[in-house]
Structure 1
Amino acid sequence: MSPFLLTRTLPEDATDAVLRADVLHGLTRTPKALPPKWFYDARGSELFEEITRLPEYYPTRAEREILLARSSEIAAATGARTLVELGSGSSDKTRHLLDELPELHTYVPVDVSESALTGAAEALLAERPSLNVHALIADFTRGLVLPATPGPRLIAFLGGTIGNLLPEERAAFLRSVRSLMDPGDALLLGTDLVKDEKVLVRAYDDAAGVTAAFNKNVLSVIARELDADVDPDDFEHVARWDRGQEWIEMRLRARHALTVKIPELDLVVPFEAGEEMRTEVSAKFRQAGVRTELASAELELTHWWTDTEGRFALSVATAR
């Protein structure tokens, strides 16, 4: 079996330190906000997997449709010998790409979760014993150093996750990706597209209430990790389409006036009745906008594919 290497670029206590910083900053600003990455503890990951199977939530199905139909074209366009996946999680969708990259030498999954990386690597190597896997425990939004692997490299950022970044964060992220790329390397980017408002809102406010539970899970994380005196039932889930920004906002709205105490941070946070705290933005894109944002990072859009209903896009960009 080929080697499995695991490299940690995050300190052991990095997650705790970042959570503390994010909560302190987010709950003392106006309006209040928390980053969506804190949804994803073990329970949050389970809930998100359930969301991807809901009838209202189309992005996962739409992206998988494109990967199944176009992976051979992606392989031909990139000729990748190394596949780097940012935010790899279970590496489930990546399997479609791995099957179509005949010259692939190394797979580099990047994630903050060591358990997710090791679990995915074990499953992949059981299926593909000749594959080299070099996993990185890293936060790709905070600077990333890739291992020395054969080129050309294909850097994949799937799932429409780029939409969770604010415009200035997206610009910084794309510049950081460009800095990792050598001549011949490429970026494979998944972007959810602008569509009917009702379709979008339903995808983030499903009838079964799974997304509501997922949204509130961030409060459970804070309660457990920071000993916060907060009850998720004191908040209700809100999903709203912002036409001007062309993004969905998920928020938590206080059902009544309350106070959240976080002893670990020596922090007392008052909420007025009806006050909303933003927990996620999910930007939706148009092809022209994606091209412009890539160009600003000195990346050139060379290929663009959508699912049959035009809901989601995968694109390939190369260094200019």
Structure 2
Amino acid sequence: MTSSAPITTSFTAESTAAEVVDGIDLTGRRVIVTGGASGIGVETARALAGAGAEVTLAVRDLAAGERTAEDLIATTGNKRVLVAPLDLADRASVASFAAAWDGPLHVLVNNAGLMASPEIRTPEGWEMQFATNHLGHFALATGLHRALAAAGGARVVSVSSSAHLRSPVVFDDIHFRERPYDPWLAYGQSKTANVLFAVEASRRWADDGITVNALMPGGIRTRLQRYITEEDLDRMRALSGGPTAVTWKTPEQGAATSVLVATSPLLDGVGGRYFEDCDEAAPHQPGTRRGVAAYALDPEAATLLWQISIDTLAA
């Protein structure tokens, strides 16, 4: 690991993924982007393919994935854009994807997500947002650990959110079996889990040369918000001015921090951190929507979550 000084870059909230990766050659690198057929996943994949990487879109909807792949090939000229089926809420699907992967993996972008959904449960009874956003990506990354270690200097990108400020991981009742279900608290704790995963994976996998960082992409209107009503969005838009302002980004801008975490030489050997607007985030200040909560970087919580995740998936 490098020094603990915060990472800062010349990029801003307005920077695009293409600008962030400009001048970086990813020829010979192999990348997976979950949820690569929609939203910021498309623009993350486009930027990485444009820099020469082989990019696999890991998607639930294969037809949408194929359409996206054709678009990326046409716009980047890179024919090494592949599509593979992956349902993060299905343990068998994740295991099958990991087992089918052959050879090294240089970058895993855990991008897919579910936001503020109504109460849905997997066949195992797991709350769907936690199952998809955290457990599925946890199973995927650990299932691909050998491929990541084989790459030498591999990176895992954990797409979190400022919504992690809404809730720590409530270890006593992760799946809302005792407390009333709240879609935003469920989303929030799943996004905290994404940061805690980065903390613990970086610690465990440091000797394998694997670094894991989390990030907040920004507010982008995509299919991620399909469960959010226009009234909800109006309330978000009304938070204009001051420290709680919602600033909407384009998908190209929303993908920038993911691409930075995946590719920037400034992050060589750097892991277990949380980024926003292309810089490492400062500690959260009450009354704002920025920064990272102390509980999301807590090493003891990160270790506990790792063990619970292993136990849950093995049950």
Q: TM-score, normalised by structure 1?
A: 0.41
Structure with larger Rg: 1
TM-score, with structure 2 as normaliser: 0.42
Q: Which structure has more strand as a fraction of its residues?
A: 1
